[in-house]
Structure formats: C-alpha cells, structure tokens
Amino acid sequence: MKHSLAATAQASFRARDDKWYLGAGDGLIWAPPFPQWLDAPGFWDEAHLFQYAIRPLFTVTFLTEGRTVPVRCLRRRWTPAALTLDHALGPWRARETRSAPGGALASEWELRNPTARAASVDVVVWTGVDGASLAAADVDREKHALRFTREVSDPAQSFGAYRSELSAPALPPRFDLTPFYDRWQTNGRLRDQLHLEGIDAHGVMYLGLQRRFPLPPRSAVRFAASVALALEGGRGGGGGGGGGSDRPSARPPDRSRASDRPGAAAERGWREFFASVPSFRCSDEYLDRHWRYRWYGLRLNAIAGRIGNYLHPTVCEGIGYFHVPITYSAQCHMRELRWLADPGWARGVLRTFLAHQNPDGSLPGRVYVDHLRGTDFYHADWGGALDALEAVHPDPSFEAEVYPALVRYAAWLLRTRDADHTGMIDVVNQFETGQEYMSRYQAVDPEADRIGWESRIRLKGVDVTVYAYRLLRALERLAERVSVADVGRWREAATRTGRAILEKMWDPAAEMFFDVNPRTARPTSVKAAVCFYPYGTDLADTRHIAGLARHLFEPAEFWTAYPVPSSSVDDPLFNPDAEWKGKRHNCPWNGRVWPMTNSHVIDALARVVRLHQAEWAGKLGQLFRQFARMMTFDGDPDRPNCFEHYHPHTGRPSVYRGIDDYLHSWVNDLIVSHVMGVLPDGPRGLTVWPLPLGVTRATLDGVRVAGRGVAVAMDGARFRVKIDGRAAGEGRVGDPLTIAFG
C-alpha cells in the first residue's frame, strides 16, 4: 500500500453530487442546511460569518436583447474546494465554479456559445438587502463596485441601487421582480443611479452591477463575481467585554494579494492543508474515507484566529447556528488536532476559552466573535483533552500558561457543584451536559424536561464527575511541574472524586455505574451510555468488567444494530425515532446514537481490551466499524457524513436537522490510537499497540510525538514502526511495543 502525501491529498478531493458546503478555515462558510436556491446562479442561500447568518448574498442574471435568459442546472459536482455546476442557458452552455478562497465567496463563469450566431449578453450581479438593516448612507460607489454591509464586486460597467417595498414573503432570485427589470435600457446599463429614498426603511434594497460581453460564434467568455464579508472593526483582539458591532459588513476582495482565480486559490488552500496532515490509508474503505473527511470538516469549521474574541486559532462545533466555538465539542477538537505536526491549533482551542474565563472561574459555553452575552455553560473533559495533547506535544511553557486558569475553573467546579464535598459533581439543568431529554434528569425531577438553562435540578452526573476526576488528576500532574505546593491539594481532591465514583456511583447488584440522586445518596438506576465513561479511566478494574459485558453487549440494552444508543433500549422513555413524549425533538438523548458518546465508549472499551479482556477486541472492532458505516449515506463509503445523531436500528442520520459536518465527536484520534495503536508518552517515547479490529492492512505516516517522526505500517497480523524514518521495531497486532526516546 505505497502512497504519498500528494496522493492522499488528491484522493481527498473525491467528487460528490450530494454536498455543497464551502469554506476556507477563516470563519466564513457557505453551508445552508436546507438550500432553496442551490441550483440558482451565485449564492442566494445563507452564508455564515462566524455566528451571523447572512442572506441573500448575490445571484447572476443573463440578458440578451433585454430579455432574461433562463438558467437550468444540468449537473453538480462538489469537492472541498469547489462546487461546480453545469448550466444550460437556452442555446448556450455555462460552467459555474463556486468557491470560498478566503474571506469571500466567488462565482466564476465560463459561458460558451456553441452556435454559429453571434450574440451580446448582459450580465447583472445583484442582491436584495433588508432595507431596515441598510441606510442610504451605508451605500457607496467605489470603482464600479458597490460597498455596503455586503458587497458584490467585479470590474462592472454600470451599477444601480433602488429601494422597494417587499412584494413577496421570501425574495426569490428572479430579475423580473426587481426594479432593474422595469428600468432596463436597450444599452444594458443600470443608469448608474442610487435611489435610496422613501418614506420609511421597510422593504428591500436592491443593488446590482452590470457588464456587457460580446459572445462570438463557437467561443466562450469568462467572468467572475464575488462577495467579501468581514466584521466591522476588522482584525485584532476584541477583548472579553464584547465590544464591536452586532452586524457584519463587507469589503471588496483584495486582488493585489491574489493573482490566482478564486477557484484556483481555494483549491490550492485545500491541497496544502491536506498535504500538511498525517497520511492514513486502510483496507477498510470506511475508515479510509472517514480519515480524510474528518480533516475536511475540521478545516471547514476552523477559525484562523486574530479577529475579535478569537485571539487564537480554534474550531466551531458545526454549521448553521453551531458555527461558534462550544466547550462541549472543544474536547473533541483538541484530541483530533493533537496529531498535526504543529500543536498551535489544538492549543488554540483551549486558549480560546481560557482567554474569556468568567470572573468566578467558570468557562463560557460559547465564545462569540464580538460579544460574550448569553454564553451559558457546558461541562467538558478539559483534563482528559489536555493530557492527550501534552502526551503528543509536551511543552512545559504551555502547561505553565494554562495551569492557573484551570486551577480557577476546578476551584469554581468544586465550590459550586460539589458544595457538599461528596466528590461528585452536580448537574443543575438538562442542557449543560449537552444531553437533554432523557430519563437521567427525570429521575430527580419529573419536570426537568420543562426547565430551561436555570439551575432547577440537582443530579450527581456520572459523566461530569468523570470529567472532574480527569481534570483533578491532570492538575495533580501539572502541579508537579508548575506548582509543587499544590500537588497534595489536587491529589486529595482527585482521590475523593475517584472514591465517590467507585463507592457511590457503582451499583454492585446491577453491575453498572449510575448517576446519583443527592437527596437519597443512592444511584438512580437509569441506564445511559454515559454510565460506561468510568471504564475509560484508571478507576475501573476486574471487579467491574463483567458489568460492562452484561450491559454494553446486550442487544436489549445497548448493543443495537448500530451501537451505542444514548439511553438503554429498555428505558421507559426510550425512542429510536428522536421522539420525546410523543413529539420529535431536535436533540433528544433518549435512544438516538450520538457520535460524541460513541467516541467516549470506544476509548473506554479499548482500555478494557488492552488491560483486562483482549478477547473483546472483536467486539471493539464491530463497534468501531459500525460507527464508521453508520456515518455514511446508504452505507456508501464514498459518501461519509457526520450528523448530530442517528437511528440505533437503521443507522439513518438526523437529516431532518440539516446539520452535517457536525464536529461533536472524535474519529481520527480513535484511528491513530486503536487501529494504528499509537499511544504517546511525551518525551519518554511511546507504545505502539494496534488492536485486532478487523483491519488487514493500514499505514500511518506524518505523525510527530515529542518532535519525533512516527510511522506505522500494518500488514495482516504484523506491524512495523519507524521513528524519524528509521526502523524502530516490529510486533504482532494485539501486543504492545514500547519505544523509548533517547
């Protein structure tokens, strides 16, 4: 299975006809969940600039002899770099290439005239802006471009802008509905007028640019239109207080720094990115495709940093209203990004939240680009994610940098969520775990599902207590290097929390870890996927292993056709169809399979396989392979997806939500850790321990651990390891090979 980084990058651009998302890792994406005008020229459906939805952007109209030429899309083809559409325009043919080259959305055209008849075509790039959001003073002419809160720009020959009452509930991209159509001149020009008056601002502001092209027989013309979007105030730190504007503005693309076509620039950016990530090839075509697909999703939802509140590079949770950094998914991003050669991006994910720590020590649940209002709070596995990152890229200076903020967070957590000093952490509403609508909360309050973000319930959560345990152990380890006097404090706190998990949350009769009702100090007996989280720590041992098999591998509980449902099949409120008490919800956790919990459970089961039950490797392989197959359309490995949640019996995704490329899980970290078996130990070295998961051949290259290059090749039952290009050892799949760095 010889391959190169270039070959891997090329394969990453496998074309599809069922996707349309575009982005360049800078906070601007075009990924409308339910596009209404996907085949219409340009970008009429919404884009997102950070958390802001902006619609419409612009469309392109063609006219000849004063009549509009209908455009009919014949075919679509998508890669991460471009959406290519082939159109029919009467007797003509056109190819439109849409791209996001960075800071802009571009529509490039090649219009072909296959006939023997010469023609002249007027091209009008236009938009309709909510008049209430745009005052007359906000529109300026600038070198035949129109500068306003959003701008379309091209070397135009004329322009126009008119205010109009809204004539339809939703403005379609139809030129004959615009004032331009009524005012059209035989010379094709838009009269170079700005008519922005009116008795009030309600309605639509139409803005357009026009250019005429000759179209000789059997020839073609090329042109491009683009809209560049940026926040008012430009780049620079926004500070924690949330100054700046509440609305996005636009600026024309800076062509002085980009001689390439937008599409070529977008393709180059994606190729360079794919060439920079580790390469992985695998005989399992599902894992093979998911590797590249997850890297694509990370860049699509990336934020480059150095703008507003984003001082550091980070990642948004997903598209749509998830296009913002969120704490619950940040732990996932740190685990995935730790395998890049440069740890700056993974560190930036943590820094983004620590930079905006609240005065009481808590961390915001979301960080918006220009304000910190309504950020709420989510629990997250900060300790586990930091340990994972430092194992690959150890850095004492980074540890010293983040230690004080994590100390303040841990102190807040213990002070407010373990005020009774039980060692267990309180959940005070169903939303802060990221897992709403499930029986866990009903066990302590029958009205829990009717409560919002206010603190109205108390549940000692097994998942958040595991997160706290990992954080306290991480602080204990950091203190040994940063603040030795604190070691005892964190060791004592971690020991108390670990003891509570083992003694209070473990039910020996049921052989399962549970949440605890603080009023009774007893386990709730509600079976949820999070009950398996303790198996991913050093707490679970041989006393607990039988319980894992009893519940996880039981089809009547969690071992469904596509494991692992968020709630047990025998839960009274279990529903595989996303319904909660008779109504379908957006984010229910009473039976759907969530990739987030699957990532946790796969890690936990892998730990048990390595330390206690090697014969369960087949079960682990089945779980991981079904996980990968579930996240595809119709089982097609060339059509991977990543929705919020899935059906546990059919594997169907939550397409009714429209939220694909949702980065609320980790996948590539599972591949590196368990398929290829790379278990880093910082500057000391690493253990390579691939597990027999049903993969017959695989290669991993381009990984760096403590600055050393690591490559692993698996063929059948054997594997080989290279460090910095030199053979470092080989072994049998299923057995550990420890390599010490000199």
Give the integer Cα–Cα distance in Å for 615 and 269.
Answer: 45
pLDDT computed for residue 256 by the predictor? 39
Stretch(es) of the chain classified as CATH 2.70.98.40? 14-260
- Helix pair angle (396-417, 344-354), 10° resolution: 40
Instruction: Please list the alpha-helical segments (H only) found in 164-257.
Output: 179-182
Intervals of the chain under pLDDT 50: 1-12, 150-155, 165-166, 235-258
Contacts of 283 (CB under 8 A, 6+ apart): 1, 695, 696, 697, 698
pLDDT computed for residue 214 by the predictor? 95
pLDDT computed for residue 148 by the predictor? 66
pLDDT computed for residue 13 by the predictor? 56
Report residue 145 as tokens: 């471009």
Give the integer Cα–Cα distance in Å for 711 and 703.
Answer: 7
- For residue 216, the one-letter residue type is P
Report residue 386 as tokens: 């930091």
pLDDT, one tens digit per residue, over 533-556 is: 999 999 999 999 999 999 999 999
Strand pairing partners for 125? 60, 209
pLDDT computed for residue 264 by the predictor? 97
- Helix pair angle (462-482, 487-503), 10° resolution: 160
* CB of 100 closer than 8 Å to CB of 24: yes
DSSP 8-class letter at 261:
-
Contacts of 581 (CB under 8 A, 6+ apart): 449, 573
Query: Could you please report the per-residue DSSP string of 95-155?
Result: EEEEE--SSEEEEEEEEEE-SSS-EEEEEEEEEEEEGGG--GGG-EEETTEEESSS-EES-
pLDDT computed for residue 188 by the predictor? 73
Q: How far apart are the first and last CA of the chain?
A: 30
How far is residue 729 from each of residues 384, 473, 678, measured CA to CA in Å? 29, 32, 13
Instruction: Please list the alpha-helical segments (H only) found in 308-461.
Output: 327-337, 344-354, 382-392, 396-417, 439-442
Q: Into which CATH architecture does domain 14-260 fall?
A: Distorted Sandwich (2.70)
* CB of 126 closer than 8 Å to CB of 184: no
